[in-house]
Amino acid sequence: MTEQAPTRVALYTFAQHTSRRVAEFRWQPGQAVSLDVLDPEWGALARDFYDNGVPAGPGRVPPQAGPDFMRALLQRFRMSYYKFVDESD
């Protein structure tokens, strides 16, 4: 992919009628993707994606894929309570 890859993607939950930031993925060229889980309960989805890869088509994109992983986080998911947001500078 030639488009610019996000360097920071946050996961928000909209449960309980409020928007809360529950996890953050970070990536820089030449570095591994990192994950900070801010809320262990609601951030479990982020941990699962980090540990098992992001579902994409017939397979999964692992965090070792760096920019492709970060782009995969921003695909449209059918989720009611969560949203991934590009918060790159």
Residue 78 falls inside a structural domain: yes
**Which residues span the domain enclosing 43?**
8-86
Query: How many other C-beta atoms can be found within 10 angstroms of the C-beta atom of residue 72?
Result: 21
Instruction: Look up residue 74 and give its DSSP letter.
Output: T
pLDDT digits (tens, 9 = 90+) for 24-75: 999 999 999 999 999 999 999 999 999 999 999 899 999 999 999 999 999 9
The tally of domains found in the chain comes to 1
Amino acid at 52: N
Residue 68 falls inside a structural domain: yes
pTM of this structure: 0.91
Residue 2 falls inside a structural domain: no
